[in-house]
Amino acid sequence: MGISRRIAEAFLEGEEKATETVYLEFKNLMYFIIASYVPSKEDCDDLLSESFMKAIEHRSDMKDPSKIKAFLSTIARNNALNFLKKKSDVPSSEIIDRMYGEEDRCNGVLTLIEPLLTNKETIVVYLKAVFSYTWPEIVEETGIAESTARRIYASAKEKLQKGLL
């Protein structure tokens, strides 16, 4: 679905209703990105809140409202990686090296598919195709009914075939 440019601009200006709309539209994507790094649901919930608060705090740094999805995705990813660095006894350079291969693979895919799909489609495709989740695992993770998730996946595949060829 996405948000309109007007809503994105209103978010950047600090409008409360627009901020709520942006949160509702992108919270699942941000959570998905965080959960791809952090296994604990409680930590993911906390990191989602922290990430969105950081987005609000730094929204004045954003110049192009059309890049709001990338802005929020980057904040979520960086927040998750920073959390892992702080939590781990392993030196942060080793964590970054270890994560870079996966991050590079996943972000490469994300960069290709994000402009073509809705947030729900992106999440379902990522869980199924990138992380090899089963349908029951996707249902558990997203709360989407299996038949709906399968339909979203099929529709997304069609969009990707048309958009990437």
Give per-residue pLDDT as tens, 4-54: 999 999 999 999 999 999 999 999 989 988 888 787 888 999 999 999 999
Q: Across all residues in the chain, what is the average pLDDT?
A: 80
Confidence of residue 102 (pLDDT cuts 50, 70, 90): very low
Q: b/e map of 51-64 (b: 16 or more CB within 10 Å)? A: bbebbeeebeebee
The structural domains of the chain, ordered by start, are 1-90 (1.10.1740.10)
pTM score > 0.85 for this model? no
* pLDDT at 57 (0 to 100): 94
Confidence of residue 129 (pLDDT cuts 50, 70, 90): confident
In angstroms, the CA 41 to CA 146 distance is 21
Q: Which residue has the higher pLDDT, 43 or 142?
A: 43
* pLDDT at 112 (0 to 100): 65
**SS3 of residue 35 by DSSP:** helix
Mean pLDDT of 59-72: 88
Q: What are the φ/ψ torsions at residue 58 (nearest 5 degrees)? A: -110, 15
Answer for the pair 123, 142: CB distance below 8 angstroms, yes or no: yes
Which has the minimum average pLDDT: 9-13, 36-40, 112-116, 129-133? 112-116
In angstroms, the CA 67 to CA 63 distance is 8
